[in-house]
Structure 1
Amino acid sequence: MGQAAHFNIVDALQHQSSFQKVCVQVSSQVSFIAGGTGLGSLFRLNPEYLNQFIVQLQIARAQYDFILFDFGAGASEDLLHFLLAVDRMILVTTPEPPAIADSYSLMKLVYSIKQDLQIMAVVNQTLDRREGMKTWRRLSSTSARFLGASPSWLASLQKDDELSQSVRRQKPCMRSFPNASYSVQMRLLARSFLLQSGQKVFTAHERTFGEKVRKYLALIGRHQG
């Protein structure tokens, strides 16, 4: 996003700092915290880190409309409890066979424990919308056949010269080239996400994100044991 993070979320937990101190402000509406490494194993080594994480997350939740967790390609079982605890998951893949295989493996991992998790598919780096739809249909049909559940369609993002320039400049494409094809597609993606997500109503009996993380962390621990 054109800004470097000097500290990450692991630093905040280990030094008992607030997330606000490691948060990087990108604009008046967007902020981010660098993830660091070993977050999942950190919670297993010291449960107090998980308690601290949940408290800080609840504070952040009151300040933002959405909190997004960005997991890298091929997210491992070490982060599975996070994936299972989210309200919904955006699965980003590409038409390349290795990316499709990674996406299927991740869905297999998630659906084996929580088959009703809402997963939305985004096919990135496509030649056109047709290629994106074709990739999603192939992934969706295979998932439905062998896993008993499948991701819904969210969007496809086509290759764009302006995006490549933005990456080289380390600037968000939507800010550098707001009228570029990729920027328009991203706005449509965001609109589609909001429409599919709906207005989630939180009820008293519903588990919070922190409670769900604890639940799945314990469940996965028993399964691995």
Structure 2
Amino acid sequence: MDQAERLRTLMGTSDRRARVIAITSGKGGVGKTSLAVNLSIALAQRSRRVVLADFDIGLANADVLMGVQPRMHAGHVLNGEMAASDALTQVAGGVWLLPGAVGARHFSDLEKSERDYLCRSLAEIESSVDFLVLDTAAGISRNVIQFASHADEVIIVTTPEPTAVTDGYAILKAISREKGTGRLRIVVNFANDYAEAQRVFERIQSVARRFLGVEADLLGYIVTDDHVRQAVRRRRPFLLETQGSKASQCVRAIADRLLGEEPVASTAGFVKKFASSLGGVMG
């Protein structure tokens, strides 16, 4: 079965709605895209159909971490040249990647007809897979807030560094202000151990509870591991490069926790809510 046949099978085997997870961070350099890539693989290894959409507009690099050079990307979808499903590329670990586009237009700059086309195209994917993982840009921007606030759940990646903790709280604050925001989760990367990750989480959570009245939870942590840096240099996901590494074990634990939970109940899917925020109409 070639890639085209596999894609047709993927897009035609389900009418349920995907669990949509937005992965974001308050600043760059905390391992956001690395988590998005490796978590997607971990979910796919557990027999889930997974699409990873690289929506870090302008600085997309999920394809680099996966060692691929795709011919089609999200820019072609934004320009109306093809449907999102036609821009998917099957990559390592059984994941389907919607590659990002460097320098693409912002979603709010699209014409209404282009927005509708984009949203209907994304809806086709949302109704056909188990997980739609969104790798957003880092930092607080309208693009990030639009994506994250409409997902079923938001994973905020931070580290023990003071600036990362501060920025992690800032992005949590911005997202939590949006109506209808899904479950808020924290993943602490580059932690020495669970105890350190718990301390970082408690610093963010205590402030969020006091000043925002918001509850997040610690979804998991990833230990500092030299295997991760080595895998990045080889343009390979560390979950595939060193399956027995401590970082790989941490990511698998995060995937197992997600799969062991009841999905967040939502009457409207991600695409319908996202379309509404753009002024589009989903029929």
TMscore range, shorter length: 0.7 to 0.9
Does 2:221 correspond to 1:156? yes
Select the residue among 119, 132, 135 that pairs with 1:67. 132
Greater helix proportion: 1
Shift of the alpha carbon at 1:39?
Answer: 6.1
Shift of the alpha carbon at 1:74?
Answer: 0.8
- C-alpha separation in 1, matches of 2:207 and 2:277: 26
Select the residue among 200, 207, 210 that pairs with 2:268. 207
- C-alpha separation in 2, matches of 1:53 and 1:179: 39
Q: More deviation in 29-38 or 103-112?
A: 29-38
Give the aligned partner of residue 144 of structure 2.
79
Instruction: Structure 2 unaligned segments of length 5 or more: list them.
Output: 1-65
Q: Secondary structure at the match of 1:179?
A: coil
Q: Secondary structure at the match of 2:145?
A: helix
Give the aligned partner of residue 132 of structure 1.
197
What are the equivalent positions in structure 2 for 1:99-114 lying under 5 Å apart?
99-114=164-179
Contact 2:83/2:118 (<8 A) preserved? no
TM-score under structure 2 length normalisation? 0.69
Give the aligned partner of residue 73 of structure 2.
8
Contact 1:8/1:35 (<8 A) preserved? yes
Shift of the alpha carbon at 1:199?
Answer: 4.2
Q: How large is the Cα RMSD of the aligned pairs?
A: 2.1
User: What CA deviation, in whole Å up to 9, does each residue of 1:108-162 have, x standing for no partner?
Assistant: 1111223753111100011111111100010111111111103111001001121
State the one-letter code of the partner of 2:273: K
Does 2:146 correspond to 1:118? no
- C-alpha separation in 2, matches of 1:207 and 1:62: 12
Q: Secondary structure at the match of 1:140?
A: helix
Q: Secondary structure at the match of 2:179?
A: coil
Q: Secondary structure at the match of 1:192?
A: helix
Contact 1:82/1:213 (<8 A) preserved? yes
Greater strand proportion: 2
Change over 3 Å in CA distance of 1:115–1:93 after alignment to 2: farther
**Matched residue count:** 214
Select the residue among 56, 63, 66 that pairs with 2:121. 56
State the one-letter code of the partner of 2:71: H
Give the aligned partner of residue 97 of structure 1.
162
State the one-letter code of the partner of 2:229: S
Identity %: 26
Shift of the alpha carbon at 1:69?
Answer: 0.6
- Bigger relative contact order, structure 1 or 2 (CA pairs below 8 A, ≥6 apart): 2
TM-score under structure 1 length normalisation? 0.86
